[in-house]
Amino acid sequence: MKKTITLYLVCLTTVTAGWAQAVGIGTSNPQEKLHIAGANSSIRIDGLNSSNNSENSGGTDLYNVVVDSDGNLSLADRSGAIFSQNALSAPVVVQTAFDSDTNSSELYTRTFTLTQRAYVVVTYYMSMEFESYDGASKLVDGRTKIAHNYWYLGDGENPDTSKKFGTTSTVYTNENCDTASGYIYNSRSVTMPLDAGTYSIHLNGEVNGGGLSSDASFRVTFGDMDRLDIHAIYL
């Protein structure tokens, strides 16, 4: 009886050691801890299917599987729009300082959260209307005036003003003549990789060109029409 027990123990130890080294499915010579051989080999995890996981919408679409720092597999969040609509509740007027040629103001702040690392695509367009300093008349002095838009990336509350993103500009000049009516627009799209966390977009409007003399001062009304789109492409 003792010999039989000893034999069982030897066999169990041998099998356990074999499983600890490598497991082969479709192969008797596994090259890794788990080796599934065959040109059409695959692996199925029911916890990732459309019946058990809200990130899997079924159909013929494919979904990205990601791995965390512990090696756990899960489905990535679905890429798509985080924010897509007008961002300004009301137009914002930015005037040149009466004795200076440059002035700027924050037009809006929009906060968003990423659940995992992603490429973030930020696109905005902003309408502009150039007028005299007090807004009482159209500009017909023939002097060159510039309006800039750009945004800072923030932590959900405070912008990092050390770097501007999405800078774009319009140069405007007009003399007393027939002109086309309608809005002028600034627009820009920027793509950047960001880690999981909370961020904010701080869009600014800036005017430049009114410092030659007091009558050269002017104003720009930003955002009679505007739009901000923030899309996440999860990796």
pLDDT in tens, 5-23: 454 544 444 444 455 588 9
Q: CB–CB of 170/126 below 8 Å?
A: no
Do the bridges between strand 34-36 and strand 23-25 make them parallel or antiparallel, or are there none, so unpaired? parallel
Q: List, for residues 136-174, the tens digit of each pLDDT value.
A: 888 888 888 999 999 999 999 999 999 999 999 999 988
On whether the pTM is more than 0.85, the answer is: no
Taking only the tens place, the pLDDT of each residue in 92-117 is 999 987 666 789 999 999 999 998 89
Domains of the chain with CATH codes: 2-75 (no CATH), 80-234 (2.60.120)
Contacts (Cβ under 8 Å, ≥6 apart) of 168: 148, 149, 150, 186, 187, 188
